[in-house]
Structure 1
Amino acid sequence: MKKNKFIDKLATTLLTLAGLTILGILISFIFYILKRGLPVLTPSFIFGPPSEMEAGGGVGPELFNTFYILVLSLAFSLPVGLGAGIWLAEYAKPGRVVNIIRTSTEMLATVPSIVFGLFGMIIFVNFLGLGFTIIGGALTLSLLNLPVLIRVTEEAVRAVPKSYRMASLALGATKSQTLFRVVLPAALPRIITGVTLVAGRAIGESAILIFTAGTTVSRFMFDLNPFASGETLAVHLWYVNSEGLIPDATRIADGSAALLLILVLIFNLLLVIPTKRYEKKVKLN
């Protein structure tokens, strides 16, 4: 009995230390980036145009392209990803074809992003002749998002207790009514969590966009043309560090990194906080 208690306390202590270590590393990482980058984040830097050769450039177009490509990629991937996940969870009959689809989805989720970037360059940039464009980057990002969205949606829908479905059907609801009025509202918090992870990854993605959206921006500020070049913040961060043509490349990189981190944190909070409130509301009802 004493031995079991000792093992239990030891395991609890080790797990606590592991958690605190990870938390400490994360806090140190965030503090280091913000300490170097926050002094750079002035309005002229955040909304100003970039400079190719002279010091003092901003990241306004790159910031706009980051959100523009994110929105377009989600517009392409959400309907397909959510639809496929719901179909696999609710309508697909167990069999070889479904198993192949699930296995393929899991395999695609582990493919490095640079492979998707090369695929996007071959298909969208070269074969379809789109060149280095925002639309090409968004389409390739949507391919990266799809496997995760499908898997998360399927697991979220499957996690809804069967008693919810049985109660709805017993009250005379059809299967589609049960799906849209009972199952999906219950699965929504988990689905939103998956979308948040996908969106955060898309905001910080660079390898794919280097090969598809390019490393330049349009000569027009905040260009809505999907066929314009679409350098994002993450790509700009890589570009200024690798090329080194700008005299204040380190300053631009520090500011871009801090801005990226803040954007991801804000984006997560904007989705997570309403989701938690909705989840509590559903539980109370």
Structure 2
Amino acid sequence: MRESLFHQHRKKNTLALIGDKVWTALFWAGSLLIIFLIGCLLFLILGKGLKLMTLDFLIDLPDEIEAGGGIGPFLFNSIYVLVLSLSIAIPMGIGAGIYLAEYAPRNRFTELVRTCVEGLASVPSIVIGLFGYVLFVEYFDVGLTVLGASISLAILNLPILTRVTEEAISMVPQELREASLALGATKAQTIVRVVLPSALNGILTGISLTACRAFGESAVILLAGGSSTSGFMWDFNLLSQGGTLPVHLWYIQSEALVEDAKEIADKSAAVMVLTILFLSFIIRLPIWIRERRFNR
């Protein structure tokens, strides 16, 4: 009897090991396939654009008729709108996440707030763009502007930052809070000096995702900021038109009349990809530096 049970147990373990190896191989194959597809996509986009890239293309003004125009104002607007939107969304999103994770009582109203935040995070960007259009163009009558594009983009990113911050703070072990409070720190000091540093990796990851998404956003910008610029480089006027590089890429691909429209589109796509990769690297750089220090 015991020998029979032993053989049955051994057979189950063998089947479990085989199943584990099969699923591990499938996951590895899926991961490698995804990496391969992403690598092919990056090679295709960058390979077409980088070989044609020049410094003049990045700083010159666009031309509606003659070939050889650049993307200077659109690239500047992209960075300008991104910085303004993050300046609004990051303090509000992180503050709301801290409140929901540390201060908000556990009741039905708080759960309703969380549900609303999650619902806003899943709203299509074109809906946020329509809201920005109604608010700034129809109600306040300021037109399509950098200001409207920035605030609309901040509204798009705010729920995501709030939920990411709340989840990152909730993952911090309760023992760290109790140890800090036991040493005489106040709740605010515990959050600033213990909880937030421990949750920094998750918060920066959320900021990286929202920043990269915001830089490549087109629907919100098109409806709240417009499809063109003031026509000048380094225009910091908040009431200028807020057309960005993704909107310009869409316009070049669909409606442009210049002879080198395809070349401009390829170079613009390469600039977008490189900028997004650079943004992701810069925002996540503190995480890598911190992990390297801890591993020494």
| Coarse TM-score class (shorter-chain normalised) | over 0.9
**Alignment map for 1:115-134 (pairs within 5 Å):** 115-134=127-146
Matched, 1:255 2:263: no
What does residue 221 of structure 1 align with? 233
CA distance in 2 between counterparts of 1:232 and 1:40 reads: 21
Give yes or no for contact 2:253–2:261 (8 Å, CA) kept in 1.
Answer: yes
Matched-pair identity in %: 47
Match of 2:250 among 238, 241, 245: 238
Give yes or no for contact 1:189–1:276 (8 Å, CA) kept in 2.
Answer: no
Q: Secondary structure of the residue that 2:199 maps to in structure 1? A: helix
Stretch moving more, 269-278 or 188-197? 269-278
Matched, 1:72 2:79: no
1:228 partner letter: S
RMSD of aligned Cα (Å): 1.2
Q: Post-superposition shift, 1:220?
A: 2.2
Match of 1:168 among 174, 180, 185: 180
CA distance in 1 between counterparts of 2:245 and 2:83 reads: 15
What does residue 135 of structure 1 align with? 147
Q: Post-superposition shift, 1:280?
A: 4.5
Q: Post-superposition shift, 1:246?
A: 1.8
After superposition, the Cα gap between the structure-2 partners of 1:284 and 1:33, relative to the gap in structure 1 and judged at 3 Å, is: closer
Match of 2:156 among 144, 147, 150: 144
Give yes or no for contact 2:61–2:231 (8 Å, CA) kept in 1.
Answer: no
Q: Secondary structure of the residue that 1:94 maps to in structure 2? A: coil
Stretch moving more, 83-92 or 242-251? 242-251
Greater Rg by CA: 2
Q: Secondary structure of the residue that 1:264 maps to in structure 2? A: helix
Q: Secondary structure of the residue that 2:105 maps to in structure 1? A: coil
CA distance in 1 between counterparts of 2:131 and 2:258 reads: 31
Deviation string, structure 1 residues 248-273 (Cα, Å, up to 9, x no partner): 11111100000000000111111212
The two structures have a TM-score, normalised by structure 1, of: 0.97
Give yes or no for contact 1:217–1:229 (8 Å, CA) kept in 2.
Answer: yes
CA distance in 2 between counterparts of 1:153 and 1:195 reads: 9
Match of 1:26 among 38, 45, 56: 38
2:107 partner letter: G
Matched, 1:210 2:188: no
Q: Post-superposition shift, 1:202?
A: 0.5
Deviation string, structure 1 residues 30-59 (Cα, Å, up to 9, x no partner): 000011111222011111111111111100
Matched, 1:2 2:18: no
The alignment covers a number of residue pairs equal to 284
CA distance in 1 between counterparts of 2:111 and 2:136 reads: 29
Q: Post-superposition shift, 1:139?
A: 0.4
Deviation string, structure 1 residues 117-159 (Cα, Å, up to 9, x no partner): 1111011121111211000000000000001000011011111
Match of 2:108 among 86, 96, 100: 96
1:63 partner letter: L
